[in-house]
Structure 1
Amino acid sequence: MQDRTYTADAEPGEDVTVAGWVHEVRDLGGIAFLILRDTSGKIQVKFEKDEMDDDLVETGLEAARESVVSVTGAVEEEPRAPTDVEVVPESVEIVAPADPELPLDPSGKVDADLSTRLDNRTLDLRKEEIQAIFEIRAEILRAARERFREFDCTEINTPKIVATGTEGGTELFPITYFGREAFMNQSPQLFKQLMAGSNLERVFEIGPIFRAEEHNTPRHLNEATSIDFEGAFCDAGDAMDVAEGVVRAAYEAVEENCAEQLEALGIRDEFEAPTESFPRISYEEAIERINATGELDEQLVWGDDLPTEAEKALGDDVGGHYFITEWPSEIKPFYIKDDEDDEQLSTGFDLMHPRMELVSGGQREHRYDLLIEGFEQQGLDPDQFEYYTKMFKYGMPPHAGFGLGGERLVMTILGLENIREAVLFPRDRQRLSP
């Protein structure tokens, strides 16, 4: 809209045109107010009924909440107004009227359950605190990209339609691709490894992944955003350094650049970026510490994966972000390299928030013969992955990397209760629309 002024920029003494949504109408008899909201904030529009044209007053006061309006008038100082200024209108235009029967209340005075909010996400994002989540999410992704570039990484984009799954199994969404069966990609894992074998060496990607897992929990999605890294001539320790650096960068960017958004969410005072290095705890030590808490009904033994209650017990014990290293080889994917000194151990690692796992990574097996053995040990047919495996015959350097859950990072940084809060339009077992 030409010559439009954002409400936050309206200064006393100016003639402006502001445009946005009708947040509220207050009729006090001889005087009335329309509160107009745009992306920058709210501004009060004052109607003095006896001194204004009846049609102008009627247009302003009969506008339904959430109608889009354009108001032209003089900005005056008014200490009693929410933003210390108000607009005295010369004209009011209803750009797009709203149905008076709204499916939820964007003012937040009446609560709506999460399902109703997600069904009406456009209205939901008109709430200041919900808008704040996605402004912070954007800042987190910006900071991640910047930190990756500081690590000399090149941003890449890999296919999301593939002939075979990254890890095989039943966690695949099949699709029909010109008469052939194909799948939505579970991960950029194999492609980013191929890029680590190119002259790019260090690469990162931020993009969607798809997993047909039969789950329905507050921390799982079937379409998620993965923040991925792969680096040639890197070992597991190098990859952990990058993972820690990216997570720290996200916290620091939010702390430095998102004060208003944290205020809208009511967490500005308690928000704090981590200052201590993330400890690196071996899988064996993790099992011992979990068992020592006495929080589990049954003691964990070597080779067990960590259930949710075990992660929580260890998270409470550690009290901050931490890595779990030296996982058993048998429970890590085929592409994770075994430890040189003990083939029962892998170079795999996880980065944990006290609430949940954020990152899975490790050094990759770069030797062709051992990679093929890994496929066979996990019951996968190497011939189905020839596009991937054959490149390991042509000089594949040692390399390492990780995948970081983007929504989980947002969720843990902001203390959200449900991962769907961190996604504009979530995809899970029940939700395919909007």
Structure 2
Amino acid sequence: MENRTYTADAEPGDSVTVAGWVHEVRDLGGIAFLILRDTTGRIQVKFEKEEMDDDLVETGLEVARESVISVTGQVEEEPRAPTGVEVTPESVEVVSEADTELPLDPSGKVDAELSTRLDNRTLDLRREEGQAIFEIRAEVLRGVREAFREADATEINTPKIVATGTEGGTELFPITYFGREAFMNQSPQLFKQLIAGSNLERVFEIGPIFRAEEHNTPRHLNEATSIDFEGAFCDHHDAMDVCESVVVSAYEAVAENCETQLEALDLAEEFEPPETPFPRLSYEEAIERINATGELDEQLVWGDDLPTEGEKALGDDVGGHYFITDWPAEIKPFYIMDHDDDAELSTGFDMMHPRMELVSGGQREHRREQLIEGFEQQGLDPDAFEYYTKMFQYGIPPHAGWGLGAERLLMTMLDLGNIREAVLFPRDRQRLSP
């Protein structure tokens, strides 16, 4: 819109045209106020009925909430106004009128169920809290990219339509691809390993992943955004160092550049980047500490995966971000390398927030014969992954990496109750539209 002024930039003495949504109308008799909202904030528009044209007053006061309007007028100082200024209108144009019956209240005065909000996401994101989450999400991804570049990593994009899954045929969404069966990729894992074996060496990707899991919980999605890293001539310790720096960089970017958004979410006073270094607990130490809490009905033994209540007990005990290292080889994927001096112990690691797992990673098996054995031990057909395994005949260096769930990072960072809050249009077992 030509000559438009954002509400946050309106200064006393300016003649402006502001445009946005009708947030609220307050009619006090001889005087009335319209609150106009745009992406930068809100501004008060004052109508003195007896001193203004009747049509102007009628247009401004009878327009339905959430209609899009344009107001031209003079900005004046008014300490009692929400932002200390107000506009005395010379003209009001209704650009796009809204229905009088709204499916939810964008002002936030009346709460709406999450399902209603997700069904009406456009309206929902007119709330300053909703807007704040996605402005922070964008800043998180910017901070993550900066951290990767500082680690000399190159951004890549890998296929999302694949012939076979990263970990076999489970949890895959099948599609028809020119008469052939294909799948939506559940991870860029195999492709980023192949690129780490090229002369690019260190690479990262931020992109969608698809998992046909039957979970229907506040922390699971069927389409998510994965932040992935892979580095040649890296071991699992190097990968954990990069992981830690990326997570801290995301927090630091938000702390530095999102003060207004954190205030909208009532987090400004308590928000701070996590302390470093993150503790690194072995799997064996982790189950010992979980058992010592007494929170589980049955004691964990070697080889058990960590149940949700166990993760929570350990998270409460540690009190911050931490790694779990040296997992049993039998419960990690085929491409995770085992320790040279103990084949039952893998180089796999998870990075945890006290609430949940955020990252899974490890050093990869770069020796072709051992990689093929790993396929067979997990019941997978190496021939189905020939595009991947054949490259290991041509000199793949030692390498390590990880994958971080962007939505889980945001969920834990902002203490959101449901991971769907961190996604514009979530995809889960029930939700395919909008």
TM-score strictly above 0.5: yes
Deviation at 1:148, TM superposition (A): 0.2
- Measure the CA separation in 2 of the matches of 1:324 and 1:54: 70
Q: Distance in 1 between matches of 2:412 and 2:76?
A: 43
Task: Note the C-alpha offset of 1:169.
Answer: 3.4
Partner of 1:24: 24
Q: Which residue of 1 aligns with 2:357?
A: 357
1:159 aligns with 2:159: yes
What is the CA deviation profile of residues 38-96 of structure 1, one whole-angstrom value per residue up to 9, with x for unaligned ones? 00000000111111110010000011000000000011111111111100111000000
Q: Report what 2:107 is aligned to.
A: 107
Partner of 1:426: 426
- The separation in 2 between residues aligned to 1:45 and 1:309, in whole angstroms, is 53
Query: In 2, distance between residues paired with 1:273 and 1:365?
Result: 33
| Residue-by-residue CA offset, 1:285-319 (whole Å, 9 max, x unaligned) | 11111111100000000000001001001101111
Does 1:274 pair with 2:277? no
Aligned to 1:403: 403
CA distance in 2, matches of 1:300, 1:198: 42
Matches within 5 A, 1:167-316: 167-316=167-316
CA distance in 2, matches of 1:399, 1:175: 32
1:138-157 pair list within 5 angstroms: 138-157=138-157
* One-letter amino acid matched to 1:100: T
Give the SS at the match of 2:250.
helix
Please tell me the root mean square deviation across aligned C-alpha atoms, in Å: 0.5
Q: Secondary structure at the match of 1:390?
A: helix
Secondary structure in 2 matching 1:429 = coil
CA distance in 2, matches of 1:144, 1:273: 14
Correspondence for 2:393: 393
* Segments ≥4 residues shifted beyond 6 Å: none
- 1: CA distance, partners of 2:322 / 2:109: 40
CA distance in 1, matches of 2:400, 2:93: 59
Partner of 2:73: 73
Q: Distance in 2 between matches of 1:334 and 1:284?
A: 21
Q: Please give the per-residue CA displacement for 1:325-375, whole angstroms capped at 9, x wherever unaligned.
A: 000000000000000110000000000000000000000000011100100
Q: Distance in 1 between matches of 2:275 and 2:212?
A: 37
For 2:413, give the aligned amino acid: I
Shift of residue 277, structure 1, vs aligned partner? 1.0
Alignment identity in percent? Answer: 85
Distance, in Å, in 2 between the alignment partners of 1:105 and 1:230 is 45
Following the alignment from structure 2 to structure 1, what is the Cα–Cα distance between the partners of residues 286 and 30? 70
Residue 132 (str. 1) matches residue 132 (str. 2): yes
* In 2, Cα distance between equivalents of 1:229 and 1:368: 21
CA distance in 2, matches of 1:178, 1:102: 43
Shift of 1:387: 0.5
Q: State the AA in 2 paired with 1:320.
A: G
Q: Which amino acid aligns with 1:179?
A: G
What letter matches 1:263 in structure 2? Answer: E
What SS does the aligned partner of 2:313 have? helix
Structure 1 residue identity aligned to 2:198: S
Residue 254 of structure 1 deviates from its aligned partner by 1.1
Kindly tell me the number of residue pairs found equivalent between the two proteins. 434
Distance 1:305 1:169 in 2: 21
TM-score after normalising by structure 1 = 1.00
Cα drift, residue 170 of structure 1: 2.2
Q: Secondary structure at the match of 1:123?
A: helix
Distance 1:195 1:330 in 2: 26
Matched residue type, 1:423: V
Deviations 1:380-399 (A, max 9, x none): 11101110000000000000
Once residues 393 and 11 of structure 2 are traced to their aligned partners in structure 1, the CA distance between those partners, rounded to angstroms, is 67
Question: What is the TM-score of this pair, normalised by structure 2?
Answer: 1.00
Correspondences of 1:304-383 after superposition (within 5 Å):
304-383=304-383
* DSSP-derived class of the 1:357 partner: strand
CA distance in 1, matches of 2:144, 2:170: 31
CA shift, 1:202, in A, is 0.2
Question: Secondary structure of the equivalent of 2:344?
Answer: coil
